[in-house]
Each structure stands twice: as structure tokens, then as C-alpha cells.
Amino acid sequence: MATRIPPKEITGLYGAMVKTLSVRMFGQVPESLGVMWHHLPALKASMRFGQRLQKWDRCDEGLKSFAHLAVASLIGCSWCLDFTYFMARNQGLDLDKARDIPRWRASHLFTPLEREVLEYAEAMSQTPPTVTEELVASLLSQLGEAGLLELTSVIGFANLTTRSNVALGIESEGFAAACGLKPMAERAAVPSTA
């Protein structure tokens, strides 16, 4: 990996704790953690918010993970694709669906609700966003207010992390491959709407 900011040595008591937890959770200390180590308040804030998001329970975990993968695929964040696919395995989610996210439009695996969630994730991630009233109304009727707000927050956080990683040159570190997961599907060409 050739990040645009070189990783810094992870030191101190907090660093030792973070390294121990990383090895326990991932089997290694992600190099990207060293990049973020240059600004501990930013790293801690991002980690804290990500941990809090994982505790929310008003929207299905699978839908939230699939939405994060859809954002990562659209933005092109190989680190997020790899890590979220790896975490989907640890969360017991449908790995065939998770690996097919980059080509979800062509895949037969997804339910109508999952397709709408993936469409919403991509629509939120466009510049400018392309979210429609009809899509929001449909998701609102299926997820409820709290569920839709939670999904929207997860997608917003996914945009923060994926865009930051791409900008900093943070790429996949092989989490999924290290535990024997099949490679992610290639992103299918999306027809132009212009």
C-alpha cells in the first residue's frame, strides 16, 4: 500500500491498546491506522462514531452493511469494500449477497427492499445527490422514520470514510482474502442516464 501520508508509528499506552484490539479483531494492525495516527482526535472521533453506529438497532444490520458496501463500490474504496465484506462474515450476513454488491443491479440475489436500499445508498453518494421523493417514501413505509434516519446516517458515515480513504490513498489490506472469502464481484457498468 502506498498511502499519500506515510503511516506513523503507533505508540504509547493508547497505541498499545489499539494494536492489541486490532490484532484480536482483524489478525493484524491495519496500516491505515498508522496514517490516522497523525491526528489522534480525528481518529478517535471517527472510531467512536463508527462504534456508536454499530450499536443502533432501528434498521437491519444486513441492510446497513449492504448500503456501506454500495457506497464503497460506487466511490471506489477498496479498503472499505474489503473491510466491510470481512465484517459481514463476522456478523453472519449473507456473504453471497455481500460479495455481489458491486454488481447488484445485474444480480438476482437481492430482495426488492435490498435493491431500494442499494439504490438509496448510491443516490445519496452522487454529487449532487439524486435521491427521489418516491424512493424515500417507499423506504419510509418499509423501515419507518427511525429506521430510515439510521440508514441515512450510516450511508453518510460511509461517504465520510470511503471518500477520506480514497483521498488519502488508503487501499485494501486483504482482510477478506486472509480469511478465505471469495473475491468481491467486479462492478458492472452502469448505463448512462444522460
Beta-carbon neighbour count of residue 95 at 10 Å? Answer: 14
The Cα–Cα gap between 88 and 17 comes to 24
The Cα–Cα gap between 79 and 15 comes to 21
Residue 181 pLDDT class (50, 70, 90 cuts): confident
58-189: CATH topology: AhpD-like (1.20.1290)
Angstrom distances, CA of residue 104 to CA of 6, 56, 83, 110, 186: 35, 25, 18, 7, 10
- pLDDT tens sequence across 42-67: 999 999 999 999 999 999 999 999 99
What are the domain boundaries of the chain?
A: 10-55, 58-189
User: Residue 71: its pLDDT value, please?
Assistant: 98
The Cα–Cα gap between 34 and 170 comes to 11
The Cα–Cα gap between 57 and 96 comes to 23
Task: Write the Ramachandran bin of 174: left for phi over 0, alpha for psi from -120 to 50, otherwise beta.
Answer: left
Whether a cis peptide bond, with omega within 30° of 0, leads into 128 is: yes
- pLDDT tens sequence across 111-143: 999 999 999 999 999 999 999 999 999 999 999
